[in-house]
Each structure stands twice: as structure tokens, then as C-alpha cells.
Amino acid sequence: MRLWTVHPKYLDAKGLVALWREALLAQKVLRRKTKGYRHHPQIIRFQTHAKPIAAVAAFLKAVHDEATRRGYAFDGSKIARVTEVIVLEETDGQLQYEWTHLCGKLKQRAPKVLASHKDVSSPEPHPIFRLVRGKVREWEIRPVSSTIRPASKASARPRRTSPRNRS
């Protein structure tokens, strides 16, 4: 699950559809209509808001607006009703981390979309986020770099040679 901090306009078609589905799932989780994903890190920033369902609904509304702008027919009736303006704070470090992550995905599956963003060094955030200075969030799941991964016991052992290979 990835509830992007970057503006939905940067996503390719596959990414936008996935974002829609995953945000609908997040809404379902916050409404307690599913047992799975309740502790997923991507949901934390919505859970900590005073009105979590309204927050994810506002997130979904912006995704729906982008889909409509592109001519897609996402069902807006699935979004919970929002009557107030919702603003969540997010760090510029989180936005930059996700931008790098998204560019890597686009390089693999939609190089033309990535090329259309070649002049973007500082992407716009999703409309519900107000940026504050800061690092990547603690809840972000980042891959462990192979350079800092400790060696396993097996790889640290000297290699055995068979009796045939001894000189």
C-alpha cells in the first residue's frame, strides 16, 4: 500500500488506479469495515488526524479530481462525505523520498511519463498536504541497503575445499 505524498498528477495510469484502490481500502480500514491493514504504516498519518475518515476522504477527493481530469470514470460515491477543509502536515524529506521512489517505478513501467517530468526537481505535494521541513518519516518502510546488511554466518565462514581440489 502506498498513499502518495506526491501530487496524483505525477502518477501513470497504473499508479493512479492503484492509489485509488489503496486509498479506498484505507478508508475502509478507518471505518473499521475490514480487519486487515489496520496497522499499516501508510495509514498512520490519517489515524493521527482528529478526523481520520474525513482526512482520507479528502485525500480520495483529490485522487478522484485527477482521474476526472484525465477522463477516467472513478466512482466518487465511494468517498465518505467531507464538509471541511482538511490539511495534513508532511515533511519535505518524505516528499523527496517518495519522488525518488516514484521515479524509479516510472523508469521501469512508464518511461514516457517519467520523461514528461524531467524538469521537475521539487514535486508538488498531494493537495491535502502542507509541507514542513523534516526527514523521511519513521513509519516509512525503506529497503535495507546491501552495503550495510551484516554478513550471514555462512558467508563469514572460510570455504571448504574438497579433498580432490587440495594441492
Specify if 110 maps to a domain. Answer: yes
Specify if 55 maps to a domain. Answer: yes
pLDDT tens track for 115-128: 999 999 899 999 99
3-class SS letters over 92-154? HHHHHHHHHHHHHHHHHHCHHHHHHCCCCCCCCECCCEEEECCCCCCCCCCCCCCCCCCCCHH
- Whether the pTM exceeds 0.85: the reply is no
How far from chain centre, in Å, is Cα 162? 50
pLDDT confidence of residue 36: 76
Specify if 30 maps to a domain. Answer: yes
pLDDT, average across residues 107-136: 96
Checking if the pLDDT of 164 tops 80, the result is no
What does the block give as the cell for 131?
509541507
Specify if 42 maps to a domain. Answer: yes
Calculated CA dihedral for residues 129, 134, 140, 143, nearest 10 degrees: 130
Q: What percent of the chain has pLDDT over 90?
A: 71
Residue 60's domain comprises 8-135
* Residues facing residue 129 across a β-bridge: 88
Specify if 122 maps to a domain. Answer: yes
pLDDT tens track for 82-103: 888 999 999 999 999 999 999 9
Checking if the pLDDT of 146 tops 50, the result is no
Specify if 47 maps to a domain. Answer: yes
What is the b/e burial string over 54-82, where b = at least 16 CB atoms within 10 angstroms of the residue's CB? bbbbbbbbbbbebbeeeeeebeeeebeeb
Specify if 52 maps to a domain. Answer: yes
Q: How far apart are the first and last CA of the chain?
A: 56
* Residues facing residue 144 across a β-bridge: none
pLDDT, average across residues 136-155: 63
Specify if 32 maps to a domain. Answer: yes
Total domains in the chain come to: 1
